[in-house]
Each structure stands twice: as structure tokens, then as C-alpha cells.
Amino acid sequence: MATTDTTACILCSRNCGLSVEIDDHRFTKIKGDKAHPFSQGYICQKAARLEHYQNHDDRLTSPMQRQPDGSFKAVSWDDALDDIAQRLIRIRDQHGGDAFAFAGGGGQGNPLGGAYSQQIRSFMKSRYGYNSLGQEKTGDFWLNGRLFGNQQCHTTEDVEHADYVLFIGTNPFQAHGIPNARDTLKHIKKDPERTMVVVDPRLTETAKMADIHLQLRPGGDAWLMSAMLAIIVRDNLHDREFLAQHCEGFEQVEAVLRSIPIADYAAQADVPLATLEQVAHGYATAKRACLRIDLGIQQTLNTTLNGYLEKLLYLITGNFGVPGGNNLHTFFLPVIGDSDERNPKYKRTAHHGMFPIAGIYPPNILPDEILHPGEDRIRAVFVDSANPVMTWTNTAAYEKAFSSLELLVVVDVAMTETARLAHYVLPAASQFEKWEATGFNLEFPDNGFHLRHPLFPPREGTLPEPEIYTRLLEKLGAIPTRFPTLERLAKLEPSGTAYLGFLSAFAATLASHKQWMPYAASILYRTLGKALPDNAAATIPLLPLAIIYAQKHYKAVKRAGHKGNRLTLGANLFKAILAGRSGITLSQHRFEDLWGFIAHKDGRIHLAIPEMIEELRNLTPPNTTEHYPFILMAGERRSYNANQIYRDPAWRKVDPHGAMRMHPDDANALSLSHGERARCRSEHGEIEVVIEVDDSVRTGMVTLPHGYGNRFKGSAPVGPELNRLTGSAHCDPLSRTPYHKHVPVMIEALTDTAAASA
């Protein structure tokens, strides 16, 4: 019998609310949830096909143990966890905690599991945590630490209220990233009082809606933004009042900007100087100007410098901390940490000597840290909610490194490409079969959170991550299987209270058993969690987070309509989260509150970052080679590609091959036709592609989408395996962020023999 319920999308950071019709463990209809406080009924075509995630033939229903011949055998949970526990203890005791690394954990739309999975790293006494943010956003986090005083001071943008919107290296029409992206873009386009500017090497769907499109040379972003800043300073368009009131170090920045040869930099970016001046003036003089960027400048040449220049654009023009500008926001979930490398407690890795940023190490160094010949190499890895072999740089290096490990455990819903290399694969319940959350709440001034209740029962043989990791901790002897006193108090806790009695006893228990402190999430899960309604035990780590958030942002939480005093507000917030089937508004800040988010002791923004000023002074064009005459922009967002949780290729209505887009002039020069197969080769590897002749790209550049290359049901790869082309060392020297948007390649037609073989 069909029923209607609510949930949220798990495909991108917007996490739009969904109204779903379900029948017999399947989605039969998916549309936007009008009751969701932020997306308000908005949905894109990708979310409408989530049935392809929930039910497909790669789903797992039993722990799997790899056999000596490479095949897999189903085993019991007890047998799998017993053996894993014994191996972990042996590796830790023989080689120390840094022989272990955790990869992934708390993936997109799956953050609650992260509160439990990271306890294993604590047990192993390991400092190594790798995840996808480490190959996308850590340059940005590092800059935030220097500018604002803490790497958790993260910025957002108020696109929907801006008069002048500048998009650099992003295509919101496909990538989203802004509220109700396509509706917002249409509103801007239709309003004659608003201006949209897009900076992108491709004539994207967003660029086609723009008033101005600067189709720069791939990798030319640093030159373009430097020239814009130099124009703004040259023409005295910077906001002196804002700089004097809120910033330090502008004089050093101004000196280097005034030395920039503007015309030469515009030529290096390959954009018309007059148009660049028009954009610089329009942005600097607009009443409300906003800047939105994404991976287009975060995964290309000069990654960290690009982020610095982007931030300078809205800071020196005063488009910060105001409606319609760029702003800081609060965090409810601790998605990232703060780990400034100048603090000696943050040790560097054994092989590369790399430091963590926001508590994260960069994924493209992990294979070397595993294959490192020293005694201090990584020997065991847990992979959770991630598929590094496909999605992280250098597939061949990951295959070699993971195959060499003494222990590789993968926790996932499917038999992924990474899982096929594992010693054990532990099947998790899907994101719609358990309590979960959409944790990328990055809004200001209003911020929200959506706790998702289960829509379906877990498949037989699967477990949610909180149960997997808590059982493993028990097998490891980290915690006992029972906490009689706490369990009794949890049952006695009257409904409607603030849990004060239980939390007092819980704190006393941890104080007298300090060895249990790292495992607080699982202890709460086994005790107070069991007392929650609707089998919501997994959500219990949100209670202390709600208490902390309510204490830190007391007035803003009250403005959002939550009741209580200093002792009870946090518990009431948690209960509202638990009851809010369409998500809730956590807090309502005022713009003047933002200045309290800055973490520097002087409360000011420190503009002069020596490493960035030095890099800006020494900005040089990239070397080119005739052997690799094309620049591949790897990882393009399209209508029917998403993250790797979509494994069944049947979900795609169009672009089944993940075709390579190539300009007609380049296709003609190579005698390639639309739909023809070709070979794409970099210095790191090669793949076969299908050509799509498309004049939206510049000559000399080609694009391929991410989200392909899966071996569904053990088949040959479906679409391009992008990371067979990317190299570990082709990255930003500071953050180690890979240059996925600037991969030198050569392309050639397949011979008749090679094509027939393919």
C-alpha cells in the first residue's frame, strides 16, 4: 500500500526537502517538500531518481570476506568483527597508531555515522583522517584560518538578495550550491535591476543566462582576479571605511596589487580588458554584490591563491557581513576542525611531511603514505561511505596501495570498486533505511537542520553505521557491552525534561572512567539513545551538539522560536530536531552578530597572508607541451551525473557514455566526428572516450563528467574512469589539492582495429 512521507535529497550540499510516495520498499514518486523551511518545494531532476540509489543489484546484504583467490564469501557479523578487531589490535600494538588511517566517513547526506566511525581512529591512536573535502576545500579552510582566525570560520554567499552576482568557476544551474539554484538564476536573469556575470572557460548553462560571460583561458583565474583587484585599487573603488573598521594588513596587499600589469594579466587570462574593467567597476560599485565560487577555481592551477584572491574581492570592496554579500555562518555539526600547521601538536605525515588542514589530510598523498618503505608506513585503512579508487586522484596508485595493505575494511551499501580490494566489506543500511541527517547547513542569517527518519526497514543482513562501530568497539574491548546504571537512569528520565539528571550521571561516569571519553557517542547510543522514541538511538550525539549550539547562539536560537532557558534550551532544540519531519530553522541571527564569529583576538580580518602575497608576486604562466596539447577539465557537472552513490547506469536519461566535449575546430583537426570513440592520454594513464562535438568549450580544452566509471554488477567500466588520467603530484603545493580542472592530455582517434577491440 502506497504511503506519503518526507525526507531530503542526499546528492549535493543543498539537501533539498523531498515529499515522497513509497510502496513495497520502493520510491514510486518524488517531488519537492513545500514544508521544508529552506528549499520550499524546490527539486532538480537528479533527486527525482533516488530509487536508483535505494534499489539496485550492487546492494550488499551480508558481511563479505575476501578469499585468497580474490573472490568473496559471506560471513556472519560476529566472525567479521572478531577477526577485524584482532587484526586492528595486532597492527596497533606492533606498529603504533599511525599505522592506521580512516578514509571517508560521514559522507554526503550521511553525517551521523561520522560521530561513531571516528571513535575507531581514537582507539587506534591514529591522527590520520582522509576525506573528499581534502581534495576540494582545504585550501579554502586554510585561508579562512589565516584571515578570520580559525579554519572553521567558513563563508557563504547571499546570492538571492544581491544586485550584482559574480560566479567564478561554478555552474549553479547544474552544480546547485545556492538556494533553489535554477529558480534563483531565473529571477536574477529576469530582473533588469540585477546583473549576473559568469567567469568560466565553457559557455555553461549558467553562462547562457548571464549578462556578461568572461570565457577565460583554462587555469587563468588567478590572472583574471588579480587584474580585477588591481583595477579596483587603481581606480580607488576599494571600501576604505570598511577596511579601516574591520581589517588589518591592507597596506601590504595594496602595494602588491598596484604593481600588477593589468593589461598583461588580462591577456594572460585571455579576456578583453575593457570587459574586465566593466566587471570590476560593476562589482565594486554595486549596492549589494555577491561572489560565488566552486571547484572550477578550487581544483585548478594556483588553487590556494585563487581562494585568496576571491576573498579579497569581497573583502576590499566591503561586500562582506551585509545582506546580498558574502558572510560567515554557524555550524551545527562539526564538519571540520581547526589544525593550523604552525601549531607543533599537529604532526606531519611520514612520507610527504604533510600537515592536516581543518583536521583533514589530502587524499592524493595517501597511496604514497601506504607504499612508503619505512616502518612508519600506513598498514591498515578503514573506508566508510567513500569510493577512493574511483573518486580520489590516481586510480592506479590507489589500486596498488590498497592491494598492499595488511587490512582494508570497507563500510558501504554496495560492492564498490574500492570494496573489491577489501579484506572485509561491511554492508551498511541505506540512507533511507536509518536515521540520518542533511548536515551541510551553511546558511546565514537563518540556519537550519534536517534530521531524516527511516522510510524503509534495513535490508536483512545490513546494519546502520552506529551499530557497526559500536559493536566493533565492544569487540575491541574499548567499552563494555552494558552500562547498567546509565541504562536504568535513561529509562527513568521523565519525558519533557532536559535530560539533566542523566547527563549529570553520564559526565560523572566519564570522569571516573576517562578511558571511555573518546567513545561517548557509542555509550550514549547504548544508554540514553535506547530511551528515545521511534528507535532513534543513532541520533543521540545531536543532543550535546544542540546544547552547545544553544549555549553559543542563545539569542539566535530563541529568535527561531525555540523555548527554554540557559539550562533547557539545548534539550528543547534537540527535541524539535527529532520531531521536525521537514527540517527546522535552528537559529536566526542578525548581521551584526557576524562580527562575533571572527576568531582573531582583535576581532579583525587579517588580510596580509605572507605565503599568498609571495605567490601573487611570483605568479607565472604554466608550462605547456606539444605532447599534451589539450587541457582536460575533469569532473564537469551535467544533467545526469552525480556522486558515486548512483551505480546503476539506467538512472541516466541522457549522456550514457559521459562523452568528452570538444570544440568543432579541434574535432575537425583530429578527424573526429560526433559519437566517435577516441583515446585520451595523460602522462599518468589513458582511457577511451566518446566524442561530443560542442562549441560551448574553447578550442584547446575538453571536458569529461564525474560520477562514471563504475563496474556495475562486475561489468566493464561504464563511462570514463577520470582518475586514471590524474596524477598525485599534479596539485597545489600548499594544500595538495589536485588540479582536476587542468589536466594536460592528448587525444587521438582509435584505429579500426582498436575500436573493434573496444
Sorting pLDDT into bands at 50, 70 and 90, what band is 755?
very low
The predicted pLDDT at position 625 comes to: 81
Separation between Cα atoms, residue 586 and residue 581, nearest integer Å: 14
CA–CA gap between residue 604 and residue 598 (Å, rounded): 7
Residue 342 banded pLDDT, cuts 50, 70, 90: very high
pLDDT in tens, 691-728: 999 999 999 999 999 999 999 999 999 999 999 999 99
> Could you please report the per-residue DSSP string of 438-455?
E-----SSEEEEEEEPPS
Say which residue the cell 547526506 belongs to. 109
Q: How many residues does the chain have?
A: 758
- pLDDT reported for residue 493: 74
Report which of residues 344 and 665 the model is more confident about.
665
pLDDT tens across 153-163, in order? 999 999 999 99
Query: pLDDT of 453-494, one tens digit each?
Result: 999 999 999 999 999 999 999 999 999 999 999 999 999 876
Tell whether the model's pLDDT for residue 661 goes beyond 70: yes
Tens of pLDDT, residue by residue over 491-524, are 987 666 789 999 999 999 999 999 999 999 999 9
Which runs of consecutive H residues, i.e. helices, occur in 149-192? 172-175, 181-190
Of 640, 559, 597, nearest in space to 147 by CA: 597
For residue 417, give the amino acid letter: E
Query: How confident is the model over 385-426, as pLDDT tens digits?
Result: 999 999 999 999 999 999 999 999 999 999 999 999 999 999
Flag whether pLDDT at 754 surpasses 80: no
pLDDT at 441: 77
Q: Looking at residue 492, what is its pLDDT?
A: 86
Nearest alpha-carbon partner for 438 in 335, 540, 292, 358: 335
- In the structure grid, which three cell numbers stand for residue 412, read together? 558501504
- Which positions ≥6 away from 268 have C-beta within 8 Å? 217, 220, 223, 621
Half-sphere exposure of 491 (CA within 13 A, CB side): 5
Could you tell me if 418 and 390 are in contact, meaning their C-beta atoms sit under 8 angstroms apart?
yes
pLDDT at position 494 is 67
Q: Is the pLDDT of residue 753 over 70?
A: no
> Tell me, what amino acid is at 641?
N
List, in sequence order, the alpha helices (H) in 294-443: 295-298, 303-316, 366-371, 388-391, 395-403
428: amino acid identity, one letter: A
pLDDT in tens, 536-560: 999 999 999 999 999 999 999 999 9
The closest of 300, 114, 167 to 735, measured between CA atoms, is 300
What is the tens place of the pLDDT at every residue in 229-266?
999 999 999 999 999 999 999 999 999 999 999 999 99
- How far lies 693's CA from each of 655, 659, 749, in Å? 13, 9, 14
d(CA 218, CA 53): 34
3-state helix, strand, coil in the chain (%, to 5): 40, 20, 45
The span from the CA of 218 to the CA of 531, in Å, is 56
Residue 358 has pLDDT above 60, yes or no: yes
pLDDT surpasses 60 at 443: yes
Residue 276 pLDDT > 90, yes or no? Answer: yes
Question: Looking at the predicted structure, is the pLDDT value of residue 758 above 50?
Answer: no
Residue 750, helix vs strand vs coil: coil
Separation between Cα atoms, residue 677 and residue 615, nearest integer Å: 41
The angle subtended at Cα 32 by Cα 31 and Cα 35, nearest 5°, is: 135
- Cα–Cα separations (whole angstroms), residue 153 to 147, 326, 333, 400, 435: 9, 12, 13, 37, 28
Closest to 670 in 3D by CA, of 651, 650, 689:
689
Q: What distance, in Å, lies between the first and last C-alpha atoms of the chain?
A: 46
> CA-to-CA distance for 392 and 386, rounded, in angstroms?
9
pTM exceeds cut of 0.95: yes
Q: Which residues of 95-109 are buried (b: 16+ CB within 10 A; e: fewer)?
A: beebbbbbbbbbbbb
Arithmetic mean of pLDDT over the chain: 96
- The partner residues of 129 in beta bridges, in order of sequence, read 102
Per-residue pLDDT tens digits for 595-607: 999 999 999 999 9
Give CA–CA dist 629/87, Å, rounded: 48
What does the pLDDT average to over 654-667? 97
